[in-house]
C-alpha cells in the first residue's frame, strides 16, 4: 500500500500536435516502465488511426514509479486524455480523477483554441497547473513570447514554466520533479465505504469489459461485489490491476490510486463514464458529482454500397459499439439507398473515426448521408418532438415552430486572416460575442447554429486561413429559427436519404451546392430539385 503523500495523479493538456503523446513516451521511458526495445512512438495510442492522425481518441493510463531528488519514491498516475472537443465529456471525467495537470504548449505555435477549452476544464476541477513549453529546440521557438501569451490569454503565471523538448528528452527530469513538488497529493479514507469514479471502459474479447477507475475512498479487491450507482447494476470483481503500461494484477487498489478491474461485464454500455462504483453490501449514500450520460449531437445515415453487405454492416456496428457506448445506431430504410442505419455521434470527428474504422477494420464500402443535428418541433397541440432524421419531418401544417441547437465557438486565427473568418461566420448566421488580440493573433467568439457547422464550416475555416486557425466549441442550447425541409428529387422522385433541414434564407444556396455535387454523379436529364423555400426564392428574385 502506497502512502497518499507519495501519490500524484495528473493529466496532460495540449492542443493537437503540441507533443502530448511524445511527452508521455519520454516520462514512461525515463521512469523505466518499458525497456528501450519495447518503446515505440505514441506508446499509449493503441489504435492505428490515433498513430496516423497524431490524435488521442481513447483515454489511457499508466502508473510510473519515480525516485525523486529528496530520496523518496513516488507513484505517478498519468491519464493520457483525448483532446478534441467531441470527447470533451471524457476529458472532463478524466480531469476529475486527477489533482493536477501539465499544460503543454508548443513554443513556436503558442496557445490554441483546444488548449483554452481543456485548461478551463482543468481549472473548473481545481487543478494545480504546471505550464510546460515544448519543442524548445526548434529554431522558431519563442519561449518569452509564449509565456506572455499564456499569462494574457489564460491568466496563469508562466514565470516558472518549464522549457523542454519531448522529442530529444531535454528537461524531462525537471518535469518529473515538478510533478512531485508542485502538484498536491490526493485525499481519501481507506476505512470509509468504497467510492470510485469510473474514468473509462473498453471491451476485451477475453476479459469482457475492462473498467478504469480512480478510487476516492475505501479499497477495491478481487471477490468484492460492487454496484454501479447510476446504472443500478451489481457485479462480482474477478480481477484488479494497474497499467504499467502493461496490464499487471495487484492485490487491491486503495484511496487515491488509479487502476482497472474486470467483472464479466458483457457490454461497454453497462459502464457509463462518470458513474460511481461502491460496495453493494455497504453502499455510499451519495454518488460522486458530475455524472451525465453521453448524448449524440450529430446524426447521419450509413448505407452499404452493395445491398448484400447489410448483414455484415449490422454485425460490424454491433461489434464497434462493444467498444464505444457513445455511438448509437438504429435500422433505417431508404427507397433509393436500400437498407442501412441511422447513427448518432458525439461530433464530426467521432463520425469520421467510426466510418473509417468500419471501412478499414471490417472491409466495408459505405455511403454516408449528409450529417444533421437534433431539432425540436413545437407542435400545434402543445407537444414537443425531437427530429433526428429530416425525412421524418411531419407536415408543416401541424408544426408551430422549430428550434435548432446553437454553439459558442472560439476561434484563434492570425491577424491577416481575421477578415475572412468574420465573413465566414457571418455567412453561417453567426453572432459575434467577443474579439480580443494577443500579439499578432485574434481570438474571436461567435454564437453559431450547429447545423451550419456540421455541413462544411471546418473545411472552409481551414481553407480561408490556410490551416492556421484553431476552432473549439460548446453547445449552449436551442433557439427558434425559420427552418424548412429541403428535399432532393432524382428523376422526379424524392430521395429521402438526401433530405435536409435548412434555414429558409439559405435553402436556395444550399440546394444549389448539393445539386452541383450530385450532377457529377447523376445524368442531368434525371435531376430536379423542388422545395417550397426554393420556389419562394425563385419568385422573389428580380
Contact 204, 250 (CB under 8 A): no
pTM of the model: 0.77
CA 446 to chain centre: 20
Q: How far is residue 226's CA from residue 234's CA, in Å, rounded to a whole number?
A: 6
Distance CA 295, CA 5 (A): 38
Closest-CA residue to 312 (of 364, 381, 252, 243): 364
Q: Is the backbone of residue 429 left (phi > 0), alpha (psi -120 to 50) or beta? A: left
Bond prior to 84 in cis (omega within 30° of 0):
no
Between strands 7-13 and 73-80, the pairing is parallel
Q: Do the Cβ atoms of 9 and 122 come closer than 8 Å?
A: no
pLDDT, residue 52, reads 55
pLDDT at position 217: 92
**pLDDT at site 54:** 54
The pLDDT value given to residue 527: 40
CB atoms within 10 A of CB 204: 12
pLDDT, residue 426, reads 93
Distance CA 139, CA 133 (A): 14
CA pair distance 172, 175, nearest whole angstrom: 5
Q: What 3-state DSSP class applies to 517?
A: helix
DSSP assignment of 101-117, as one string? EEEEEETTT---HHHHH
- Distance in angstroms between the alpha carbons of the first and the last residue of the chain: 80
Question: So what's the pLDDT on residue 341?
Answer: 92
Please state, in angstroms and rounded to a whole number, the distance separating the CA atoms of residues 320 and 230: 23
| Residue ranges in the chain whose pLDDT is less than 50 | 37, 42-43, 45, 523-539, 541-542
Helix (H, G, I), strand (E, B), or coil: what is residue 434? Answer: strand
pLDDT of residue 491: 73
The answer to whether 63 touches 76, Cβ cutoff 8 Å, is yes
Q: Is the peptide bond before 453 cis (omega within 30 degrees of 0)?
A: no
Q: How many helices (H) and strands (E) does the chain have?
A: 13, 30
Helix (H) or strand (E) holding 90: helix 88-96
Q: Alpha-carbon distance 34 to 450, whole Å?
A: 44
The predicted pLDDT at position 532 comes to 42
Cβ 205 vs Cβ 266: under 8 Å = no
Burial class (CB in 10 A: 0-12, 13-18, 19+), 11: buried
Amino acid at each position: 500500500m502506497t502512502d497518499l503523500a507519495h501519490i500524484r495523479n495528473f493529466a496532460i493538456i495540449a492542443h493537437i500536435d503540441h507533443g502530448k503523446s511524445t511527452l508521455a513516451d519520454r516520462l514512461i521511458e525515463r521512469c523505466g516502465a518499458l525497456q528501450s526495445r519495447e518503446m515505440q512512438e505514441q506508446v499509449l495510442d493503441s489504435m492505428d488511426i490515433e498513430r496516423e492522425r497524431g490524435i488521442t481518441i481513447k483515454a489511457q493510463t499508466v502508473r510510473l514509479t519515480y525516485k525523486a531528488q529528496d530520496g523518496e519514491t513516488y507513484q505517478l498516475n498519468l491519464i493520457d486524455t483525448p483532446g478534441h472537443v467531441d470527447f470533451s465529456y471524457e476529458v472532463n471525467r478524466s480531469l476529475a480523477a486527477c489533482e493536477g495537470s501539465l499544460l503543454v504548449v508548443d513554443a513556436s505555435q503558442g496557445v490554441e483554441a483546444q488548449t483554452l477549452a481543456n485548461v478551463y476544464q482543468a481549472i473548473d476541477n481545481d487543478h494545480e497547473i504546471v505550464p510546460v513549453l515544448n519543442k524548445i529546440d526548434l529554431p522558431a521557438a519563442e519561449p518569452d513570447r509564449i509565456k506572455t501569451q499564456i499569462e494574457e490569454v489564460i491568466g496563469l503565471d508562466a514565470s516558472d514554466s518549464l522549457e523542454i523538448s519531448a522529442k530529444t528528452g531535454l528537461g524531462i527530469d525537471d518535469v518529473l520533479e515538478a510533478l512531485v513538488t508542485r502538484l498536491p497529493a490526493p485525499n481519501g479514507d481507506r476505512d470509509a465505504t468504497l467510492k470510485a469514479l469510473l474514468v473509462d471502459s473498453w471491451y476485451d474479447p477475453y476479459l469482457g469489459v475492462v473498467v478504469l477507475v480512480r478510487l476516492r475512498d475505501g479499497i477495491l479487491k478481487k471477490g468484492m461485489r460492487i454496484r454501479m450507482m447510476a446504472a443500478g447494476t451489481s457485479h462480482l470483481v474477478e480481477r484488479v490491476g494497474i497499467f504499467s503500461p502493461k496490464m499487471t494484477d495487484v492485490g487491491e487498489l486503495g484511496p487515491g490510486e488509479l487502476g482497472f478491474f474486470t467483472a464479466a461485464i458483457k457490454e461497454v454500455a453497462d459502464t457509463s463514464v462518470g458513474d460511481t462504483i461502491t460496495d453493494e453490501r455497504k453502499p455510499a449514500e451519495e454518488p460522486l458529482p458530475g455524472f451525465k450520460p453521453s448524448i449524440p449531437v450529430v446524426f447521419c445515415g450509413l448505407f452499404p454500397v452493395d445491398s448484400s453487405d447489410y448483414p455484415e454492416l449490422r454485425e460490424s456496428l454491433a461489434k464497434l459499439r462493444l467498444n464505444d457506448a457513445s455511438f448509437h445506431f438504429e435500422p433505417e430504410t431508404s427507397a433509393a439507398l436500400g437498407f442501412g442505419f441511422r447513427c448518432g455521434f458525439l461530433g464530426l470527428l467521432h463520425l469520421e473515426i467510426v466510418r473509417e474504422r468500419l471501412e478499414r477494420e471490417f472491409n466495408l464500402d459505405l455511403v454516408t448521408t449528409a450529417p444533421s443535428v437534433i431539432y425540436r418541433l413545437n407542435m400545434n397541440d402543445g407537444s414537443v418532438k425531437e427530429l433526428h432524421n429530416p425525412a421524418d419531418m411531419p407536415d408543416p401544417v401541424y408544426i408551430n415552430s422549430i428550434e435548432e441547437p446553437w454553439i459558442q465557438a472560439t476561434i484563434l486565427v492570425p491577424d491577416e486572416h481575421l477578415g475572412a473568418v468574420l465573413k465566414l461566420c457571418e455567412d453561417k448566421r453567426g453572432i459575434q460575442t467577443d474579439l480580443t488580440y494577443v500579439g499578432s493573433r485574434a481570438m474571436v467568439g461567435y454564437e453559431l447554429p450547429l447545423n451550419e457547422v456540421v455541413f462544411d464550416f471546418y473545411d472552409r475555416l481551414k481553407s480561408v486561413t490556410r490551416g492556421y486557425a484553431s476552432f473549439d466549441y460548446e453547445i449552449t442550447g436551442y433557439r427558434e429559427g425559420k427552418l424548412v425541409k429541403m428535399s432532393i428529387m432524382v428523376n422526379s422522385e424524392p430521395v429521402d436519404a438526401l433530405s435536409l433541414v435548412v434555414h429558409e434564407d439559405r435553402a436556395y444556396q444550399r440546394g444549389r451546392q448539393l445539386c452541383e455535387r450530385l450532377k457529377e454523379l447523376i445524368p442531368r436529364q434525371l435531376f430536379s430539385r423542388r422545395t417550397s423555400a426554393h420556389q419562394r426564392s425563385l419568385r422573389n428574385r428580380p
